[in-house]
Structure 1
Amino acid sequence: MAIFGLWVINKAGGLVYQRNFADGLTQMTSNEYLVLAGTLHGIHAITSRLSPTGTSSGAHVIEAETFKMNISLTATGTKFVLLTSLAEPSANTVLQKVYEAYADAVMKNPFHNPEMPIRSEGFDIRITALIGTGHT
């Protein structure tokens, strides 16, 4: 069981935070991460419109052969994406704690603009304490 990475995507689909925690993910350039975040933002928007039984908040889990993407959408449209192993049981709990760290360390900073990259040492420290190396 492992947590491989964390992405924070703003309401416009821009990647504002990306961090890898464990071996297993292919290393990509900043531009490749930006393209993937924008693509995921589009997929999330499409899945929110596809519900046959009314409204939907979009995809919460996208599962591949070797990993899962766990997605949490906030009321402001910010998406938190946790890349995990298939058997990771704590993804939703970790996402909730990441959101709490974001609210405390990032959003309470009066100089932070939600559309800009997250540059907060306090947030990084809390994420490291929460996720560490990615192995749970």
Structure 2
Amino acid sequence: MAIFGLWIINKAGGLVYQKNFADGLSKLSPNEYLVLAGTLHGIHAITSRLSPAGSSSGVQIIEAESFKMNIFLTATGTKFVLLTSLTDTTADTALQRIYEAYADYVMKNPFHTPEMPIRTERFDVKVAEIIKVFA
């Protein structure tokens, strides 16, 4: 099992946090990450309206040939995306812990502006600790 990366996408579809943890995924430019985050945001919005059973929270897992994207949508519309190996089974728990760290270290930071890029060192350290436990 491997965790390759983490993206946090704000409710408008902007990438506010991106971190790679392991080799395995293609190296992309910052602009390419922004485009991918916006595209994923659009796909998520479309899938949340396609449900034949009524309301849906949208796509939660996207599987590719060599990795999968696990998407956790918060009540405020922020999306946490964890890029993992196909065999990973701990992504949901890891995403929940990352969300808790986000609430503790980012949202409670009086110097952080909501919906803007996350530049909080304590959050980076906590995410690294969480990834180390689950990788």
Unaligned runs of 5+ in 1: none
Distance 2:54 2:61 in 1: 19
Equivalent residue number for residue 42 of structure 1: 42
What percentage of residue pairs aligned between the two structures are identical?
73
Please report how far the alpha carbon of residue 129 of structure 1 lies from its aligned counterpart in structure 2 after TM superposition.
0.7
What is the deviation of 1:135?
A: 6.9
- TM-score (norm. length: structure 1): 0.96
Deviation at 1:65, TM superposition (A): 1.2
Structure 2: state its 5+ residue gaps: none
Q: Deviations over 1:70-102 (max 9, x none)?
A: 000000000000000000010000000000000
Cα displacement (A) at 1:110: 1.7
Structure 2 match to 1:131: 131
* Residue identity opposite 1:41 in structure 2: H
- Does the alignment pair 1:73 with 2:73? yes
Q: 2:94 aligns to what?
A: 94
TM-score (normalised: structure 2): 0.97
Q: CA RMSD in A?
A: 1.1
**SS of 1:127 mapped into structure 2:** helix
* Residue range with higher mean Cα deviation, 35-44 or 123-132: 123-132
Distance 2:44 2:109 in 1: 28
Q: Tell me the residue number matched to 1:104.
A: 104
SS in 2 for 1:58: coil
Aligned length in residues: 135
- Larger RCO (alpha carbons 8 Å, 6+ apart): 1
SS of 2:58's partner is coil
Stretches (4+) displaced over 6 A = none
Establish whether residue 51 from structure 1 lines up as the match of residue 29 from structure 2: no
Tell me the amino acid that sits aligned with residue 14 of structure 1. G
